[in-house]
Structure 1
Amino acid sequence: MTHNATSTPSTAGTPGQLRRVAVFTGSAMGARASFREGASKLAQHLAETGICVVYGGGNVGLMGVVADSALAAGGDVLGVIPQSLVSGEIAHPGLTELEVVGDMHARKMRMAELSDAFIALPGGAGTLEELFEVWTWQQLGIHRKPVALYDIDGYWQPLLAALDAMTANGFISEATRSNLIVSDNPADLLEALNNWTPPAPKWQKDPAPLER
């Protein structure tokens, strides 16, 4: 089924009531077995807590591990994939639901609409693109949803060091930097997502209270 993207992602959802969580991760397995093991543990934990996994719809790499692990644990998995990548990323045939959209922009928008929170696992350029887009949208008040890094085996430490340097040099505010959740433990990560409070949008000095 194909969905057309709307102009902005939904701001729906309230703290502590996560129903769907978007997982960004690679279409490759990566160089360490710990990446696969960590991805599986997170997906299993989300499934066991009744949270639907929203992801890119592929059946390869860590994407496939996330989907298979959540499904094996009895969870729901919703995939969103562009028509052009159905063959290249080998669309997963056994998902709870698979949405085929027109292009990558529609994919990212649809995942943002569907999800109450976002978690980036180890991945490459595409994972970074997805992560920084939703984090920027949070900063600008386009959505009021938490964004997190699942730091399997210290994978995100070099990125965190770069973000700290950007903060020290005045390009990222301390408040924005602190709003990015980081954890290497699935239970702690989910607790932080549930307890997260939306920040004030960057360009709005006295915002009215908004629900995410």
Structure 2
Amino acid sequence: MKRIAVYCGASDGINPIYVEAAKHLGRWLVKNDCDLVYGGGQFGLMGTIAREVLKNGGKVYGILPKELASRGAALDTITDLKIVDNMSIRKRMMFDMSDAFIALPGGPGTLEEISEVYSWSIIGDNDRPCVLYNVNHYYDPLKAMYDQMSQQSFLTNQARQKLLFSSSLTEIGDFMQNYVPPKVRTYPQPEPKNDAM
């Protein structure tokens, strides 16, 4: 893996452990020769991980919608910053550029982005791993929700196993290196009509 997309908040959160986790992940990316692909912002955990990767000699690729750039959100010291028309383009570019996807703690946007790329894996449009970096048990309620989906047969058990919740970067690294995409969902086909008279 050469480039990993990291979705995360434009806020630091209330607990300093989230900032430390973003720095730790940034150093881990550089140590494993992985470039960072992220949302291009300078604030919150987004800015923290980007600066940490740069500080340790890594490369950072950011994609930022112009409406956020116009409000001063951009971190313009990164390796490459692309300003795009809207969030849909940003998400698609991040997807196309990346070999894996990790979510640090964040808000609705972070949840939307990791959920989208994971859902694409179920229908066969994403063959790359998705991980929620479960710092300070932040994603425990979401993990329980996905388990509930599987228990109630709205998500297959084998597809559920393809979404990792973990606070261990060692476990995350192993999961990504050994990842096999879920089997693509198939649907029962109707019986062919017999038009013979």
> Match of 1:191?
174
Q: Given the alignment, which residue of 159, 165, 183 partners 2:148? A: 165
Work out which of the two has the higher radius of gyration on C-alpha atoms and give 1 or 2.
2
> Match of 2:102?
119
CA offsets 1:54-111 (integer angstroms, 9 cap, x no match): 0000000000011011111111000011111113361001101001111100000000
CA offsets 1:110-156 (integer angstroms, 9 cap, x no match): 00000000001100000011011000111110121100010111111
Q: What runs of 5+ residues in structure 2 fail to find an aligned partner?
A: 189-197
Distance 2:2 2:72 in 1: 26
Write the mapping of 1:26-175 to structure 2, written as runs, cut at 5 A: 26-88=9-71, 90-175=73-158
Q: Is the CA contact (8 Å cut-off) linking 1:117 and 1:193 kept in structure 2?
A: yes
Query: After TM superposition, where is structure 1 displaced by more than 3 Å over at least 4 residues in a row?
Result: none
Cα offset, 1:204, TM superposition: 7.5
Amino acid at match of 2:27: Q
TM-score (norm 2): 0.92
Amino acid at match of 1:198: P
Distance 1:31 1:64 in 2: 16
Per chain length, whose mean CA-contact separation is higher, i.e. which structure has more relative contact order (CA < 8 Å, sep 6+)?
1
Q: Is the CA contact (8 Å cut-off) linking 2:143 and 2:165 kept in structure 1?
A: no
Q: Is the CA contact (8 Å cut-off) linking 2:121 and 2:127 kept in structure 1?
A: yes
Percent identity of equivalent pairs: 37
Amino acid at match of 1:75: G
1:67 is paired with a residue whose SS is helix
The number of residue pairs the alignment matches comes to 188
Cα offset, 1:166, TM superposition: 1.6
Distance 2:131 2:72 in 1: 24
CA offsets 1:18-44 (integer angstroms, 9 cap, x no match): 010000000111111001101110111
Q: Is the CA contact (8 Å cut-off) linking 1:27 and 1:89 kept in structure 2?
A: no
Give RMSD over aligned pairs: 1.3
TM-score (norm 1): 0.85
Q: Is the CA contact (8 Å cut-off) linking 1:39 and 1:65 kept in structure 2?
A: yes
